[in-house]
Amino acid sequence: MDYLVEERYKLFRIDAIKAFIYVAITAAALFLVLKQKLNQNIALIIIGVVSLFDLWSVNKRYLNDDNYVDKIFAENPFQTESSDLMVEKVQGNPNLEPILANVNVNKTLEIISEKDKTHYRIFNNILGTFSETNTSYFKSSIGGYHAVKLRRYDDVINEYFQVMDSVKLPNILNLLNTKYMVLGGPEKPQAIPNPRANGNAWFVSDLKFVDSPNQEIKSIGVINSKKTAVIASSDKKYFDGKPVQADSTAFINLTKYQPNELEFKSQSKTPQLAVFSEIYYPHGWKFFIDEKEVPYIKADYLLRAVHVPAGNHHVRMIFEPEVIETGKWISLLSFGLFILLSGFGIFWMNKNKKKEILVEKV
C-alpha cells in the first residue's frame, strides 16, 4: 500500500511541475505581448506548441510503442504455429506473450473446426471457459466473455460451472450441444469428443412441470434431457390441445444456420415437443412451422421449445425484434419527410426567384 501511495504521489508531483512550467511559459508569452515586446503570432505559436507538447506527453502514456504490434499478429491474433522469428518479435511485449503461449490450444481448436464443419459448441476448460475468446475465433463456444450477459445463462454458469460437479455438469454440456471438450494443459491440450451431446434440436416425450425458477435450474442437472423437458408450471396452458406422444423414429435436423435465422426439417408419426439448443429470448425471436408463425415456450430453464404436429414439417426461427422494425419505419418516414421538405424548399426558392426577375423587368 505504501508503494502505491508513493507512486501516485510521484505522478502527481511530476504533473504539477509540468503544469506550473506550461502556465509560466504561457503567462510569459502573454506578458511580452502586452508589453509589445513579442509579436502576437509568435506568442500564439508558442502557446500552440506548449499545448501540443502537453497533449502528446499525456497521450504517450496510453498509446505508445507497446501498443503497436507486428502485422502478422494483427492479421491473426490467434496463432496456430510458432517459430524462432515469432518468439523474437514477442519477447519483451507482455501483450503478445499469451499469443504464443496458447499456440497449441489454438492448433487443437483449428483441427476440430476443420475436421467437423457441422454446427456445435466447444467446451474449452484450459484457457478459462468464460474469460477467453480463442475458441470463438475458430468455432462456437459455450463460453467466451462479454460484459453484458443473458441472465438465465449467467445463472447456469454460476450454478454448474463454478462448482464443476462431475455428475451434473455433463448433463448441462449435453443440453448446450457441446460436441467437443478441450482439456489438459496449454502445452498438451486434448480434444475429447462428447458422443452424448443432444444436438442442435431433439424431441422429448416427457414433461416435468415445476413451480419455481429454482426448481427449474436444479432439475436440469439431474434429468435425462434427451427424453424429458423441464417446463415452468406457468406454461402448462401452452399444451392445451397440444398432446405429446413418444415416437422412437422421430427426428429433427438442422438444415441452415445463421446467427439470426435457423431452419430445421422434422419428421414424426406423433405430435412432439421440440427442444432447441438455443437460448430462450422472447424479445425478437419468432418461430414458424411451414411458414406459419407459432408461439413457443421456455424449456430446461434457458432453452427454446415449440410444439410440432405429427408429419413432415419445416421449422424456422428468425430474429426480428420489433424495435428494429420500428426504427426502420421511423428512418424511412424521416427520410421521406426530408426529401419532401427539401423539394418544397427548392420549389419555393425557384418561385420567389422568378417573381424577383419579373419585378426587375417591370
- What's the pLDDT score for residue 322? 85
Helix/strand/coil (H/E/C) assignment for every residue in the chain? CHHHHHHHHHHHHHHHHHHHHHHHHHHHHHHHHHCCCCCHHHHHHHHHHHHHHHHHHHHHHHCCHHHCCCHHHHHCCCCCCCCHHHHHHHCCCCCCHHHHHCHHHHHHHHHHHHHCCCCCEEEECCCCCCCCCHHHHHCCECCCCCCCCCHHHHHHHHHHHCCCCCCHHHHHHHHCCEEEEEEECCCCEEEEECCCCCCCEEEECEEEEECCHHHHHHHCCCCCCCCEEEEEHHHHHHHCCCCCCCCCCCEEEEEEEECCEEEEEEEECCCEEEEEEEECCCCCEEEEECCEEECCEEECCCEEEEEECCEEEEEEEEECCHHHHHHHHHHHHHHHHHHHHHHHHHHHHHHHHHHHHHHHHC
Is 164 in the same domain as 221? no
Is 44 in the same domain as 151? no
Contact 126, 184 (CB under 8 A): yes
Whether 335 maps to a domain, the answer reads no
Whether 82 maps to a domain, the answer reads no
Whether 140 maps to a domain, the answer reads yes
Whether 68 maps to a domain, the answer reads no
Is 310 in the same domain as 230? yes
Is 36 in the same domain as 141? no
Whether 354 maps to a domain, the answer reads no
* Conformation bin of residue 215: beta by default, left when phi > 0, alpha when psi is -120 to 50: alpha
Contact 207, 229 (CB under 8 A): yes
Is 213 in the same domain as 259? yes
Our count of domains for the chain comes to 3
Residue 321: alpha-carbon gap to chain centroid:
17
Query: What are the grid coordinates assigned to 131, written together?
Result: 474469460
Is 176 in the same domain as 212? no
Is 8 in the same domain as 56? yes
C-alpha torsion sign, points 50, 55, 56, 61:
positive
Q: Point out the domain boundary residue: 193, 223, 239.
A: 193
Is 142 in the same domain as 187? yes
- What's the pLDDT score for residue 357? 63
- What's the pLDDT score for residue 57? 86
**CA dist., res. 161 & res. 131, Å (int):** 13
Backbone angles phi, psi at 27, to 5 degrees: -65, -40
Q: Point out the domain boundary residue: 146, 167, 193.
A: 193
Q: Point out the domain boundary residue: 193, 219, 236.
A: 193
Q: Which domain holds residue 153?
A: 116-193
Whether 188 maps to a domain, the answer reads yes
Whether 18 maps to a domain, the answer reads yes
- What's the pLDDT score for residue 71? 77
- What's the pLDDT score for residue 94? 76
Whether 95 maps to a domain, the answer reads no
Helix axes of 2-34 and 40-62: crossing angle, nearest 10 degrees: 170
Is 177 in the same domain as 205? no
Is 212 in the same domain as 149? no
Is 219 in the same domain as 304? yes
Along the 362 residues of the chain, how does pLDDT read in single tens digits?
A: 676 778 787 878 888 888 899 899 999 989 898 888 889 889 899 999 999 998 988 888 888 776 777 777 777 889 898 888 778 777 777 777 778 889 999 999 999 999 999 999 999 999 989 999 999 999 999 998 888 888 999 999 999 998 888 889 999 999 999 999 999 999 999 999 999 999 999 999 899 999 999 999 999 999 999 999 999 999 999 999 999 999 999 999 999 999 999 999 999 999 999 999 999 999 999 999 999 999 999 999 999 999 999 999 999 999 998 888 888 889 988 988 889 888 888 878 777 776 666 556 55
Is 208 in the same domain as 286? yes
CATH code, domain with 222: 2.60.40
